[in-house]
Amino acid sequence: ITSEISSLLIEELIKVFNESCKDIDGIIIEDYNKGALPKEIIYHIINHSSEHEIPVYVDPKYDNYECFKGVRLFKPNLIEYNAIVRNKQFGSLPNSGFKFKEFIESDILLLTMGADGMSLYHNNQHNQIPTKARNVYDVSGAGDTVIATFAINDLCGLDPLESSTIANLAAGRVCEEIGVFPISVDSLKEIFSHHYNMD
């Protein structure tokens, strides 16, 4: 079911957002095209966050993607990305990623590509990060895990490649479980030690 929220509710949500912003280090926006994030709210969040130097991390859908210009991280999956760029003359990946990043004006563009891992664009560089899933049983929540893990590492001062690498490991770990599986520090350490020398 998709329906726009009322103008009264929009005003109330903006009020709550403004009151909460004093204690916020970063903002993750998950847009599911269900009507809870009309353009008025998106623009307000982006503008207010920019004024207060609060980084915004976005997992977009097609309808409102242009509202998210200038964010810290723009993270579509490959299906969403292809829907967004299909009418633009950006060419094919990986080169189209540079053109799209310039268009969306994000600091970082991170494409999640399922079994093909992730494609990271930042500082005029492109890094392809292979998937690290060992046994995939359920991909539910993988995209949410990526953006949450990336954001926390980015806010802690890791560079985009480090943040993406850890987010990739976290996504691989949750795919090994049936149903939605919240990533923990211990489970992340376990999969990290499986793939990398921890000595």
Full-model pTM: 0.89
Tell me which residue of 91, 40, 84, 88 sits closest to 60, measured CA to CA. 84
State how beta strands 56-59 and 27-30 pair.
parallel
pLDDT in tens, 63-115: 889 999 999 999 999 999 998 888 788 888 999 999 999 999 999 999 999 88
* Structural domains of the chain, with CATH: 7-195 (3.40.1190.20)
Assign 7 a pLDDT band (cuts: 50, 70, 90).
Answer: very high
pLDDT at 138 over 60: no
Catalytic residues: 144
Annotate 79-104 with b (16+ C-beta within 10 A) or e (fewer).
ebbeebbeeeebeebeebbbebbeeb
Per-chain mean pLDDT for the chain: 87
Residue 135 has pLDDT above 70, yes or no: no
Angle at 157 between CA 24 and CA 80, to 5 degrees: 70
